Structure 1
Amino acid sequence: MTMSLIDAFLCTVSPTDKEVLNRALTDFNSVDTDDLLDILENVDCKSLPNSQNILEIITHLAHKAIFQEPHFVIDSWKCFLSKRLTTKLSKEHFDTICEKLAPTPRKVIYIISYPTDMGVLESTVSKHLQRFIKDLDNNSLSDFLRFVTGSDLLIKNCISVRFVDLHGIARRRIAHTCRCVLELPNLYANYPDF
């Protein structure tokens, strides 16, 4: 149990930290002490590690990261959610919700809202944006949504596009995730320029 818990914990840390912690577990004397102490300090470990207690320290940290911290969040939300969820959520219903939130280019294009008084330049840029979204793979589409909405899922019903007059080096896309607004410069020579 201890090693599988530690293995799960090591999957949650960076590759560099994982290497240092593995080295500390297998050959404590070969580990860079400063690196190890930095890692332990970052996870609020108050114990000074040595070859006799390193397994116990890392096991404690793993238990805290894998069980205690998530359990605190579960307990915090349990009361709130139990009052609002009167029925149990079936796997099928959960899968339906996840499928609805999963982004596709078509769904993202559907929720984009443009100003009603667009001119020729703005209409051209809106077509560039739609083409851009259609060309995105799943990871890039998630990145786009995260840039515009703050989430890589379709949690908002509308993404508003606002056109701004920016030229030269100042020309850039600006996202306001609180309101799900994407500001786009209104002038691009062509799609590759967009």
Structure 2
Amino acid sequence: MSKEKWQATAKVLVIGYKQESFFPFKLAVPFLQYVMDATIINSNHPSMIPTFLELVADSEKIVLETALNNFSDVDEEDLFDILDNYKVKRNATSDNIRAILQDAAHRTLIQGTSYISRCWHSVFVEHLKPVLHTMNIEDICQTAIPTTRRVIAALNLPQDASEEQRNTTKLLLKFIKSLSVDKLMTFMRYTTGANQMLGKKITVRYVQQSDFERRPVAHTCGCILELASSFKDYIEFRSEFSAVLENNIWVMDIV
């Protein structure tokens, strides 16, 4: 894309953070830090290799981690094939494998995206940095990731609930505690419209529903989750809520 289009993309990200606390936390943190200040990121930066390993394929990650932790156990043919994919020309040994991966990570995360970094830099420094105050990019990305504790803390539960409703609340909390990070993201997207923490409360409201029409209903405009209170047990609750989250009909990619 042209410089103007990349800068327009950066402006959209800044507006999203200013208005809704929405930030693309899945982007590589070293890349985002480099956009803000190119002087603090080099190949030796402590986050470079861990971030790089999160971006490669799972099969490659296993081989590379083995090479880092116990080079003698790694399949050298697999390792050399992977390194060749990332334009590594040196022969890897137990003594230089970390330095090789640092260079590969830097080449992939920083050098390969340098044009975008240059386009975004002025926008981020002028419009985003002033509103971050004492927070940094890494803090923003970390606090945006849904965790069990954060999602439960975001729930606004009714104070005058009946016994039946309190039982359903227990089922909801148990369900949330069973979710993986990816599923927590889906839960947040269903209830708030975003797959991350926005600092908003999710109001749980109990409504009357027949057994036929019973299902969780979310209103993302007000972050409201409507639940029936007539579930027999956890298995029934989990089955119906999981069916909703796994059904992509409700997903909207334009907000």
User: TM class by shorter-chain length?
Assistant: 0.5 to 0.7
Q: Percent identity?
A: 29
> 1 CA distance for matches of 2:132 and 2:191?
33
Aligned counterpart in structure 2 of residue 138 of structure 1, from 168, 178, 181: 181
Q: Is the CA contact (8 Å cut-off) linking 1:149 and 1:156 kept in structure 2? A: no
TM-score (norm: length of structure 1): 0.58
> 1 CA distance for matches of 2:235 and 2:132?
50
| Structure 2 gap ranges (5+) | 15-121, 238-255
Residue 152 of structure 2 corresponds to residue 109 of structure 1: yes
Residue 116 of structure 2 corresponds to residue 82 of structure 1: no
CA separation of 1:88 and 1:191: change in aligned 2, threshold 3 A:
closer
- Decide which structure has the larger Cα Rg and report it: 1
Structural RMSD (CA):
2.8
> 2 CA distance for matches of 1:74 and 1:83?
10
Aligned counterpart in structure 2 of residue 127 of structure 1, from 153, 159, 170: 170
> 2 CA distance for matches of 1:81 and 1:163?
45
Name which structure has the greater RCO, CA cutoff 8 Å, separation 6+.
2
- Displacement of 1:157 after TM fit? 3.0
> 2 CA distance for matches of 1:193 and 1:88?
44
The 5-angstrom pairing of residues 39-188 of structure 1 reads 63=1, 69-74=5-10, 82=126, 85-86=129-130, 93-188=136-231
User: Residue deviations 1:47-70, cap 9 Å, x none?
Assistant: xxxxxxxxxxxxxxxx46xx5533
CA separation of 1:159 and 1:73: change in aligned 2, threshold 3 A:
same
- Displacement of 1:102 after TM fit? 1.0
CA separation of 1:192 and 1:69: change in aligned 2, threshold 3 A:
same
- Displacement of 1:172 after TM fit? 1.0
> 1 CA distance for matches of 2:217 and 2:179?
19
Q: What residue number does 1:14 align with? A: none
Instruction: Give aligned pairs, total.
Output: 129
> 2 CA distance for matches of 1:82 and 1:154?
25
- Displacement of 1:104 after TM fit? 0.4
Q: Is the CA contact (8 Å cut-off) linking 2:10 and 2:124 kept in structure 1? A: no
SS of match in other structure, 2:225: strand
Aligned counterpart in structure 2 of residue 189 of structure 1, from 223, 232, 248: 232
TM-score (norm: length of structure 2): 0.45
Q: Is the CA contact (8 Å cut-off) linking 2:7 and 2:123 kept in structure 1? A: no
> 2 CA distance for matches of 1:104 and 1:87?
25
